[in-house]
């Protein structure tokens, strides 16, 4: 199973993403959910994931900034 995180500041959207797709049958385990990119980045500093679905526009740190910052820190 691939480890997946979902990041969205709107709880309604976050819950819909969790429930509308059968993640397990698609080969994913939803390991974590976040309401901003900063929380997701903090999690990624201690844990590994295979994929993240993130909203582009969020407070604190948006999805694009999350991707840029992650790439700077973990570039291989």
Digit-coded pLDDT (tens) for 25-64: 999 999 999 999 999 999 999 999 999 999 999 999 999 9
Return the higher-pLDDT residue of 4 and 75: 4
- The dihedral over CA atoms of 22, 28, 41, 76, expressed in degrees to the nearest 10, equals -150
Q: Read off the pTM.
A: 0.89
Q: Which residues contact 63 (CB under 8 A, 6 or more apart)?
A: 7, 37, 54, 55, 56, 57
């Amino acid at each position: 199973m691939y480890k997946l995180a979902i990041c969205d500041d709107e709880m309604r959207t976050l819950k819909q993403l969790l429930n509308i797709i059968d993640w397990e049958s698609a080969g994913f385990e939803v390991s974590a959910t976040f309401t901003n990119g900063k929380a997701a980045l903090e999690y990624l500093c201690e844990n590994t994931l295979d994929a993240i679905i993130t909203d582009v526009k969020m407070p604190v740190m948006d999805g694009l900034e999350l991707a840029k910052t992650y790439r700077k820190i973990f570039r291989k």
